[in-house]
Chains A and B, each alone.
Chain A
Amino acid sequence: MKRLLLFILSVLMLLCAVSVALAEDPIYIGVLDAFTGDRASSGDYAKEGADLAMEHINAKGGVLGRKLELIYEDDQGNESAATNAFQKITAEHDLAAVCLSKYSSIVLAMEQFVADEGIPAICCGSSPRLETSKTPNLFSSRRSDTGSGVTIANYCNQLGMKRVAILHAPDALGTGMAPVLQAQFEKLGIETVSVQQFSPDEKNFAPYIAKIVDSNCDGIVSMAQQAEAALIMIAVKEAGLDVPCVGSSAFAQQIAIQNSAGACEGWYSVSPFSPTAQEEPTKSWIAEYTEKYGRKPDMGSACMYDAVMLFCQAIEATNSTEYDDIINYLKTLKDVPGIASTYSYNGTPMLATAEFIVQIKDNASVVVSVVKN
């Protein structure tokens, strides 16, 4: 009898311990970005945004009473390493969801693996190819470059441009947005006098700008990542070109502004996020981020923060970490406010519904207007 009682007591204690352990198991969300290599600067900002989201969530008691933990994996900023990183992180960890890089070419390289795994994934990319993706579990916390391209072209028209030169990156951003721009320019009766695609890892933009000068344009549109954006702005200034210039979102981000040595002054950009935004909760978030990390946030920080928060909201709302439940919830999103944008599902993976037209003044991107879907 005594032995039986002892046995029952042991089983009960064991069950209690297991249930306590299970209840304490964190919820894991994966974050893939470039933490080494040439694109590591964007990974740093993304990690800061994600860490801040984790801090906020855990300060409110976690998700479903469980602590949120982010698992970081380095995609090294290139496609082959990214696919390996994705397979590694999903194989080694029991993830509820995964947040991906802002580089569309890298996300597109992983797309098939994301589809095969079935895990809900939110990236921060904006390529038109993402917009038309049929992968049901892949989303983006950005607006598509198709929409941004039309916005840029319309704004060029507003600025009075009639002969535009386009200079774009060789990646998904540049090759995706350039045809959209040209098509919209044609509709608006604006002549595209020059379209140039610069080489990967380009550092010397003087020859491209020389060709632009020779084209006799009255406006420049450029699509590039942040380091190249800074160099393009410097090259345009050195060439003495005094025409309105509009850049993709990277032109209004911190790295580009800080490294342009003042050449960014006056440039316009279409950006999902502005570190000088005055609306709440974005303004307070920017202040908190700046105090914590000693520098202003950029688009990558804000988009990654929102991606993590959207996943946590989905898990809370569905009371589940099952992939299908989270994916189905994301497909019901309507006017959910975030830091970088307001999020709604409109039948495409692109969840963001707004972005800003900004102009750089005194080394800060100042909002000129807001564009909504």
Chain B
Amino acid sequence: MYVQLAITGVSMGMLYALMAMGLILIVKAVGVLNFAHGQLFMLGAYITWMLTYQVNLPVWGVALCGLVCFAICGAVYMFTCYWPLRKSPWKVTVIISTLGASIAIKELVRLIWGSIPLTMEPIIPGVIRIGTAYLSYQYLFIIVIGGGLMAGVYILFERSFIGKIMQATAQDRYAANLVGIPTGVAILCTYMISLSLSGIGGWLAAPLFLVSQSLGNLAQKAFAGIVLGGFGSVKGAIVGCILIGLIESFSIIITDSYKDAIVFLVLILVLIIRPTGIFGEKIAEKA
């Protein structure tokens, strides 16, 4: 049982980490938490379902067209929910805008695709057995693809020029503007990458959890992972989410009904001991 719980925990943690990466990118770019991220994850699942079953594309076609669609969605989302409010003196207006977007996206999806949950075949069907434990090939796919994306995001941000521009914009937009960095383009790229990550996450999660409007509820654990790992740290978000996945999985040994309560209790305890999270850095603002 413990092997099975560990495998499940890591698999779910990778899924949460995919969502968390996209969230962190937007937090770093514009400084607000995107409360519509779960619904964007869900939208990714619906878009890939549409490409697979209504447009009838092969897997590689779904991946390519899906990325294009997610990037377009990212641009549309940025221009509707962030750009008009970017100069507002209160950051909370952008947050409220994302809350509204989350409701709107959920109901838009219902209007387009209906309310009945949809099924998506796994990319690779079947399970692999490791003794008494088993791992669905889809979970294995998530771990591999998730790992690849994490490496890709790391290389993009740490080793590429575009990544450095995006980091500069995220750290100090005013200074970035002063040195001639097109911050608007950098923010747009961040949104497009963020939504691509969440869209891919939705595509990978859909065969496991059905394509439904409640798929976005998985974002709650991604939020918890980000906070646990250290707000603003991509590495922290990944580690935090995997920890959340493992805690969630192993908490079944203690209780089945209050699994989620245990996850958030552990989160609170960690924050009491280390308020900045596991990898978070203490940042003090000078007067």
Contacts and interface: CB of A to CB of B under 8 A. Distances in A.
Interface string B113-140: 0111111010000010100101010000
Given A196-B256, A199-B259, A206-B8, A211 B210 contact: no
Given A37-B213, A38-B214, A207-B249, A261 B256 contact: no
Given A198-B256, A261-B121, A43 B115 contact: yes
Interface in A180-221: 196-199, 201, 203-204, 206-208, 210-211, 213-214
Contacts, number: 95
Interface in A217-236: 226-227, 230-231
Contact of B217 (A44, A201, A239): A201
Contact of B110 (A40, A198, A230, A261): A40
A214 B2 CA distance: 10
Given A41-B116, A197-B257, A203-B209, A211 B121 contact: no
Contact of B115 (A41, A199, A207, A214): A41
Interface string B257-285: 11110000000000000000000000000
Nearest to A38: B214
B169 to A, nearest CB: 35
A38 B252 CA distance: 25
Given A43-B115, A207-B249, A227 B212 contact: yes
Contact of A44 (B12, B114, B208): B114
Given A201-B217, A238-B136, A259-B119, A213 B110 contact: no
B213 A207 contact: no
Contacts of B12: 204
Contacts of B107: 36
B5 interface: yes
B218 interface: yes
B247 to A, nearest CB: 11
Nearest to A260: B119
A240 B134 contact: yes
A239 B210 contact: no
A211 B1 CA distance: 7
Contacts of B249: 206-207
Interface in A256-290: 258-259, 261
A203 B134 CA distance: 18
Contacts of A201: 214, 217
A214 B256 CA distance: 14
Contact of A208 (B214, B218, B256): B256
Contacts of B117: 41, 226-227, 230, 255, 259
Q: Please classify the interface of chain A as helix (H, G, I), strand (E, B), loop, or mixed, using the class held by over half of its residues.
A: helix
A208 B248 CA distance: 11
Contact of B119 (A37, A41, A198, A261): A261
Contacts of A118: none
B81 to A, nearest CB: 21
Contacts of A213: 1, 4, 132
A204 B8 contact: yes
Interface in B129-154: 129, 132, 134, 136
Contact of B212 (A38, A43, A44, A214): A38
B119 A38 contact: no
Contact of A203 (B116, B129, B218): B218
Contacts of A26: none
A203 B202 CA distance: 13
Contacts of A197: 256-257
B137 to A, nearest CB: 10
A244 interface: no
B130 to A, nearest CB: 12
A123 B90 CA distance: 47
Nearest to B9: A207
Given A40-B115, A258-B119, A210 B213 contact: no
Contacts of B209: 203-204, 231
A210 B210 contact: no
Contact of A207 (B121, B134, B214, B252): B252
A303 B184 CA distance: 55
Interface in B78-117: 107, 110, 114-117
A210 B114 contact: no
B1 A210 contact: yes
Contacts of A231: 209-210
A170 interface: yes
Interface of A: 35-38, 40-41, 43-44, 170, 196-199, 201, 203-204, 206-208, 210-211, 213-214, 226-227, 230-231, 238-240, 255, 258-259, 261
14 contacts: A40-B213, A170-B257, A196-B257, A197-B257, A201-B217, A203-B208, A203-B218, A207-B8, A207-B252, A211-B1, A213-B132, A230-B117, A230-B210, A259-B117
Q: Which 4 pairs between the two chains have the least Cβ-Cβ distance?
A: A40-B115, A196-B256, A207-B252, A210-B4
